[in-house]
């Protein structure tokens, strides 16, 4: 029953994303720090080493709630992935690249089977037989696209997975000269 209610809430949230679009300026390092604090108990329980390298002053445009959801979904997937491997590492990095922010979430998990790669962003697709709703990565992609961004995926069996997110920078690119 609890799983059905959670699924209903997620489907409702997914369907309302577009109506809740905002153009806030969100400081990325603070958002990531908040997300990691919220997940600290699980990170410690799984004994995951989390590395964070966020370029100072990075700001992106969008709803803070949406952007939190985007990165939290990627973190939760990464934690699920590393739960069953000996070397449990997750890295979150972000830097300015032109007029966009490039962020990556990389895990040391088992990787995603090649036959699943074309489907991971589809709503209700999941490789987790007893957990998950199949909406997390669909939400990640939809949120990124809502704010003019995109998501790329690289995965290697027995080495891990990297999600790369491109989002519009809310601040002008630093002057190189």
177 domain residue, yes or no: no
pTM: 0.84
Q: Which CATH number goes with the domain that contains 153? A: 3.30.565.10
pLDDT in tens, 109-147: 999 999 988 888 887 777 765 555 677 888 899 899 988
16 domain residue, yes or no: yes
Beta strands in the chain (DSSP E): 25-27, 49-54, 59-61, 89-97, 100-107, 150-156, 160-168
100 domain residue, yes or no: yes
What is the helix (H) or strand (E) element at residue 176, kind and residue range?
none
147 domain residue, yes or no: yes
Domain of residue 24, residue span: 2-168
Which stretches within 17-146 are classed as H helix? 28-38, 40-46, 64-82, 136-146
54 domain residue, yes or no: yes
pLDDT in tens, 21-70: 557 889 999 999 999 999 999 999 999 999 999 998 999 998 898 899 99
- In the chain, the number of structural domains is 1
């Amino acid at each position: 029953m609890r799983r059905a209610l959670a699924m209903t809430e997620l489907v409702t949230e997914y369907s309302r994303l577009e109506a809740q679009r905002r153009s806030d300026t969100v400081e990325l390092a603070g958002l990531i720090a908040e997300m990691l604090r919220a997940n600290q108990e699980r990170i410690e329980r799984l004994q995951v080493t989390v590395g964070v390298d966020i370029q100072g002053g990075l700001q992106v445009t969008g709803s803070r709630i949406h952007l939190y959801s985007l990165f939290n979904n990627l973190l939760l997937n990464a934690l699920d992935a590393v739960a069953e491997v000996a070397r449990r590492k997750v890295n979150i990095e972000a830097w300015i690249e032109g007029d966009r922010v490039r962020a990556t979430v990389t895990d040391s998990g088992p990787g995603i089977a090649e036959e699943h790669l074309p489907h991971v962003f589809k709503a209700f697709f999941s490789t987790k037989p007893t957990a998950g709703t199949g909406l997390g990565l669909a939400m990640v992609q939809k949120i990124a696209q809502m704010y003019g961004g995109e998501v790329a995926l690289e995965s290697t069996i027995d080495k891990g997975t990297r999600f790369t997110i491109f989002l519009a920078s809310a601040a002008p690119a630093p002057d190189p000269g």
